[in-house]
Structure 1
Amino acid sequence: MSRATFASATWLVAEREMNVLVRTKGFWIGFLVTVLGLFAIAVLPSVFGGDKPVVAAVGSEAVKVLSGKDVEVREVPDLASAERLVRADEVEAAIVPDTTGESAIGVRVVALDESPSDVVGQLVAAPPVDLLDPSAVSPGVRTLVILVFALFFLLFGMGGAAIAQSTVTEKQTRIVEILVSTVPIRALLAGKILGHVLLTMGQVVVLALAAPIALRLGGQSELLAVVAPALGWFVPFLCLGFVLLAAMWAVAGALVSRQEDLGSTMGLAMLLVMGPYFGVQFFSDNQTVMTVLSYVPFSAAVAMPVRMFTGDARVWEALLSMGILAVTVVVIVLGASRVYTGSLLRTGGKVGLAEAWSRAE
């Protein structure tokens, strides 16, 4: 049987990897859950958290105090009527005249069994605030968007474990010996990475297109103008980062001969996924740490898009980070190719990195 050219062999393996993966229920269930989760994050806050508290008001002074507040006001004639509405749970609280002289604003709050913080908080007098550099999004939304970016990086990064599992399965069943008789070993690695990268790119593009729809459905169209540029950076960064991680996952699978031993070689790849995830989560408010993370190749895929979203990085910084990441991808893939070649046909136990490197052709 003649050996295929490197390019045709790579594409042949890539097609095989994609066909095998898209035929599994787990792939579609996982992707569907991810899409539904995206819509849930965008839509549910407006469904469950968008109602204004209903407050009863007794007298003109109470109505005046509530003027301009983010509450729904129901005027009632007297204190007894207000208390009935509170006890019937028709209003969250009632604002009534203060007859004791204790209140600085001339009214008191009547509630059932606990202080209504969302109402009381709006009654506290505060001076006007002039912001020199106002943020386009609230701190809560900022935290949520960073969480989504980090979570997608985690999901797709850990998804690369499928490469390790398919590699060790082929070794354990001896299928790899048939494959390498028709395709070069390096083409086998390139095809696996290419197949999974194309699937990942497809999923990321779908999510990037779905995000604006989800934001509009959630009534957060103003956030779209801020998130859209960050998504434009997130897609290429994530795809490059996935290539980097895919090479690590492939090596993890090639170094062992049984599924039971795979856990002993997956540690580094898992660390390179979990580390950036937690790093961005814990240090998103620390500009110094985030700047460092945005130039470290394994964390740049998520840290730099986050900095572009928060407005802490300029375009030239993103381009520089992407260049460093691209160069690192080439170096790591070449190194992984050598280790993969030296370990793929070795059976009988775990192969050390030094041994795999020295045995490579």
Structure 2
Amino acid sequence: MEKKILYLAIMLFLLLISSIASIRCKRDDVLFLGAKWGAEEVDYIATPGSINVITVYITPTLANGLKDIIAELHLPKPLTGLNGGSIVKTSHMEFVPKGQILPLTFKVIVPLNTPEGNYTFRLKIKYTILAPLPEERKWEVEFSLPISGRTYVYTELLTEKLEKGKVQNINFNVVYAGNEPVELNIDFQSDALSILDYEPKAPILTDKPGSFEASAKVYCPPDVQVNGLPITITVTYKTLQASGTYTKTYIIPLARKAEVVFTEVQYTTSGSSVIIRGQLVNVGDYDAKYLTVYAQALSEGLTIENPTTYLGTLAAGEGTSFLIYASAERIGKYGLKLSAKYYGPDMEWHETTEEISIEISGIAEEKEKIT
């Protein structure tokens, strides 16, 4: 009897563990950023009778990252891998931290008898998490890519970087590579960017090959933690003989910058002496190097004793204090200009300024006491 009770207890414990593991596997430890035809630096248009590369972009969402990633790409018919099978494999065994974009590449054969259209692929990966304990998990996602026929379109990204917390335009060239009258309709999608507007909204009509401008007006969130954000452009085309859809996802890098601002600037006076205190804070996401504060009197009668103060490197998110000493010749109001110059990651010098007004009221009283 005791053995049966012990056996049942062990079975219940194992069932509990397996249910917890299955729940954990449902978490989105991985974020799918997009997929495209072509290697990481090269874009392709997939057509029948060609060997192509598919690049899939993913990024870990876990704070402790992932490692030992084994990926399988399940191909739709009639596509095959180089070995003739319907599954193509790749792996990345090194550690991938949270937010780092990982490209996974797969070589695919598009047979001559492949019809034009959109094809759905399924990516399955196994990976290991590191905390709280090493554990193997699984994740999968489906995505679609187009295979073009004789008439096709493709796009070129013109915008190089995005800035956090700003409204900006992402610009494209839409290229038509056919030789018959066509109607092109353009649309944009992004799960990470807010698309506020886009152009052109009206169809593009042409009867010869050409390149056309398109743009999406987007807002980039200020608190994103990844190195790049995706945007998908979709071009639907119609000719007298065929119709199709071209879809491509671009990962646009986020610009890193140093941005120094003045905070809590104030002054105190004692007779003719003035002390200006303040702080500089780097609200950017990159170091501000060779940071120097300059003080300039804007009124006659105000003498700056230390017009230049070198502060060195100010790391992202950090602040530092400074002191400026000055003296006034008489009672009255004086203007003072503060400027902070620093060297940013774009290999350019940047400057931020602030002007303050100083009021001196105690010089006469001080002289009377001395007399």
Q: Could you state the TM-score of these two structures normalised by the residue count of structure 1?
A: 0.18
Q: Which one scores higher on RCO, CA 8 angstroms, separation ≥ 6?
A: 1
Q: Compare the two structures and name the one with the higher strand fraction.
A: 2
Q: Compare the two structures and name the one with the higher helix fraction.
A: 1
Q: Could you state the TM-score of these two structures normalised by the residue count of structure 2?
A: 0.18
